[in-house]
Structure 1
């Protein structure tokens, strides 16, 4: 039987001070072989976040059946840091996307940063990302790591915006060394970036306030408006990190909602991979703990998609640019790229 009235029913409204959540799925099943350095790298990741976020941020860590030592470390951070306010422990590895969906759909913040557990964040990454959302309210996905090769990846809305509401132009890459480091961190036999990609990237500009951002982004670390998860898929992912699963749950919903996909011009985070190197510690030592406050709140980050007409036009533009090399080079040359391949 129940006696009395649950006091929670007296106060029905839920209000939170935070407006930005960081979600980190972690899978480190053992401490040898492929994962021999992964625990130390995860520590660098989490500590770098704690050193660089402002006071209206909260962190969710989703432990996908990691080693006991990793679990104990996560629990210790939950106990000592006010910013790590949610920890999930799963006895099965449910995959990155399901971890992200569980965290994002159960929280109220309008901005949700998803990050792999091998990312080192730099000072001011959060301010730079939020500035793009504020000044380009059509943005739905913003990464603190620019790439010069993703301007054709789920960017139909960008192309419409660039031609009809803003401006598109090629600019010099701000930090080509960091971009090359990212390329090396992937461990591929062949490097992704050619020399021209390290010199120029395509930039989208808001003509009203002059805010600039790089066209497109990846998703090993990116901040998204929560609507991307709310109106994405209601189905769980039955594969882990293969088969284009991130496209289905992140990329496609962002584009279908009429939102832009962008990145900061400067590099504000590093992909570390699974092998420790001295430069990682050197970069970490540069970080300093500051009492960072924010003057913004949840209402400042509006959901402002492009129109249905804009989505339609953007889809056509992207299709033409992707399929016709001749047309693509003509357009890119007109935007300031004097090169015969990009």
Structure 2
């Protein structure tokens, strides 16, 4: 019958670390407890977590590696009573901790990817705003062309105004000339005794013509005044509108440049963080694979040692049974002694 005793693992003496369970026959359980409880272990420098091999209940081999323990078992196959085999639990715990760290880093990597996606969306939005801004710039360029066209029209109106003023000057000269002709005609009529009715008729015609000319001059002056005011006002309004749009465009461009610079910095930071997270994940993955490999190797060694232990225990049981058979044979041997025959 076998009685397992579970003990915790500790690192000691820089050797390879093992957790262990003690598997032994029932008559050796007290011997094991005596090693741990009665101070034999502490006097011999044995601590929890050390690999121990007991031979003949007296020889104690401490802090053994699996290879050393296997060698001792092969040397003393019939005298081995105690062997510590089980794989360390702390390595499994560290493996779980590394997996948890790996999951955490994967979550952080996913977060950084989400940040990159948001930055990409912001960049796309910024490009759309830039496209809108380009459209506004094209509109402003069209307004500039319209402004240049208005300037040409205004210059033409100024030329027309100069022509009207020249015509007005000519009309004034013509009016003066007409007055002189009237005076000359009046003076000539006095000298030549021309008929007064004809002179009055000519005078009336000239007055009518003079009034017509005055009306035309007044109309031309009003048209000239309105033409002069309208281009100036339109030019000033167009200039103010152009300056306002140019100011808004400059402010928007400056704002978009700052946002683009900030987005680039955020993208670079996110890229560096993603690179570091990826490198860390690969490192932890390599550690996990190494620990899994060492775990697999330790399991194989444990199975080997367990098979050796079972063989040793089986041999021990066979020897015990043979001893019992021999003892029973020795007990039966005296009863088979025959008494000598009595003399008659």
Normalization by structure 2: what TM-score? 0.17
Greater CA radius of gyration, 1 or 2?
2
Q: Larger RCO: Structure 1 or Structure 2 (Cα < 8 Å, ≥ 6 residues apart)?
A: 1
Normalization by structure 1: what TM-score? 0.17
Higher helix share: 2
Higher strand share: 1
